[in-house]
């Protein structure tokens, strides 16, 4: 690694993009934030244009025009073919001599590992959707397509909201069992009934994007003891554990002491029922699993992966962590917002 080596680190999610430029010694030289990254909707080049605005701003703030290596952890880079397409598109921008593109779950995984730990563990991310990735020091990975129901996925904030609406609608018209969700969901939008909420969603008087607001309502209803709501929270925990256990098994880690890291707004809120069931089930299926909610910003994971690629010294990793206000020693400040909603 040359003394002037730099990393252009990108963490791009559905709603926002964080970019940092770090020197080879871990000093963060410049940062920027951009819009959401959605290549499946906008197309690859248009989505990379969103990255470009933030990347070039970060490079300018760092006082450089190019970097040694791009470490990009991107939402919607779910399949190897998508990673290759995005890597080629980023390479054409000329930001660096080498480019590494991964799904954004790997940023959560790398950021959440302890400061002096080797890159070894599994992360489950549950935000709008759900995904899981595992990593070994030799570079081997375990991952899932994670592109929705067609790839066997269930849950995430979007999926939980849809399930809550389904049960509430059936409770109101008599097809399903009674649940307090029937009144709680429309009340959130100031509406008198599920019929009114269904109409408002169908006619787009309430946009589909606002459905995610119903996930915290589901958790609050579950906390009040509603059986249907509680069953959905339990199922979410079961899905998280299933993904983690499969990833651990694929990597030969199921019986070893290994970090299992939880990230994304749904898991970071640490709802007691969800968090407690995940930990209980993992203790049964993977007794050595050390469960931790990831407090670190995912862009830190992109920086650390970039420093890994440069062969940086441990002090460089520590310096990058210090910039983002974490020692990587297990701090867990991912409390929900004051009104009980998960943090974004």
**Higher-confidence position of 117 and 27:** 27
Mean pLDDT of 130-151: 92
Q: What share of the chain is helix, strand, coil (3-state, %, to 5)?
A: 45, 20, 35
Residue 325: its pLDDT value, please? 85
Nearest-5° Cα angle at 45, 147 to 264: 40
Mean pLDDT of 93-113: 94
- Per-residue pLDDT band for 340 (boundaries 50, 70, 90) equals very low
- Per-residue pLDDT band for 2 (boundaries 50, 70, 90) equals low
63: exposed, middle or buried (Cβ count in 10 Å: 0-12, 13-18, 19+)? exposed
Hey, what are 232's tokens? 């959905």
**Mean pLDDT for the chain overall:** 91
Residue 41: its pLDDT value, please? 86
Residue 53: its pLDDT value, please? 95
- Per-residue pLDDT band for 1 (boundaries 50, 70, 90) equals low
First to last CA, the chain: 36
**% of the chain with per-residue pLDDT over 70:** 93
Mean pLDDT of 147-170: 96
Whether residue 326 is predicted with pLDDT greater than 80 in this model: the reply is no
Whether residue 341 is predicted with pLDDT greater than 70 in this model: the reply is no
HEC per residue, 139-188? CCEEECCCCCHHHCCCCHHHHHHHHHHHHHHHHHHCCCCCCCHHHHHHHH
Residue 215: its pLDDT value, please? 97
- Per-residue pLDDT band for 287 (boundaries 50, 70, 90) equals very high
Residue 3: its pLDDT value, please? 55
- Per-residue pLDDT band for 330 (boundaries 50, 70, 90) equals very low
Residue 95: its pLDDT value, please? 96
For 9, phi and psi rounded to 5 degrees? -105, 130
Q: Which long-range contacts (CB under 8 A, 24 or more apart) does 171-175 make?
A: 171/228
Distant-in-sequence, close-in-space partners of 95: CB < 8 Å, separation ≥ 6:
8, 55, 59, 66, 67, 70
Mean pLDDT of 96-114: 92
Which is it for strands 17-23 and 6-12: parallel, antiparallel or unpaired?
antiparallel
Give the tens place of pLDDT for each residue, 220-270: 999 999 999 999 999 999 999 999 999 999 999 999 999 999 999 999 999
């Amino acid at each position: 690694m040359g003394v002037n080596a730099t990393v252009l680190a990108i963490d791009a999610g559905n709603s926002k993009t964080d970019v940092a430029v770090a020197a080879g010694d871990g000093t963060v030289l410049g940062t920027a934030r951009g819009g959401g990254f959605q290549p499946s909707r906008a197309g690859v080049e248009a989505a990379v244009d969103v990255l470009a605005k933030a990347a070039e701003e970060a490079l300018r703030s760092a006082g450089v025009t190019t970097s040694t290596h791009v470490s990009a952890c991107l939402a919607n880079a779910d399949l190897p073919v998508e990673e290759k397409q995005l890597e080629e598109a980023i390479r054409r921008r000329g930001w660096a001599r080498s480019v590494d593109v991964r799904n954004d779950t790997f940023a959560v995984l790398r950021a959440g590992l302890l400061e002096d730990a080797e890159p070894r563990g599994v992360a489950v991310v549950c935000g709008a959707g759900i995904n899981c990735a595992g990593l070994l020091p030799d570079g081997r990975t375990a991952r899932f397509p994670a592109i929705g129901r067609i790839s066997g996925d269930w849950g995430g904030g979007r999926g939980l909201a849809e399930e809550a609406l389904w049960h509430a609608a059936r409770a109101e018209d008599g097809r399903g069992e009674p649940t307090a969700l029937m009144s709680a969901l429309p009340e959130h939008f100031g509406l008198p009934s599920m019929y009114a909420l269904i109409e408002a969603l169908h006619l787009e008087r309430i946009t589909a994007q606002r459905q995610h607001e119903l996930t915290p309502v589901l958790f609050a209803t579950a906390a009040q003891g509603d059986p249907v709501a509680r069953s959905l929270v339990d199922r979410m925990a079961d899905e998280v554990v299933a993904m983690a256990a499969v990833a651990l098994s694929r990597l030969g880690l199921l019986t070893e002491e290994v970090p299992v890291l939880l990230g994304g707004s749904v898991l970071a809120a640490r709802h007691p029922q969800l968090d407690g069931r995940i930990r209980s089930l993992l203790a049964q299926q993977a007794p050595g699993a050390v469960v931790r909610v990831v407090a670190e910003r995912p862009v830190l994971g992109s920086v650390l992966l970039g420093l890994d690629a440069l062969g940086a010294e441990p002090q460089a990793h520590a310096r990058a962590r210090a910039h983002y206000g974490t020692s990587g020693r297990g701090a867990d400040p991912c409390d929900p917002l004051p009104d009980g909603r998960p943090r974004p």
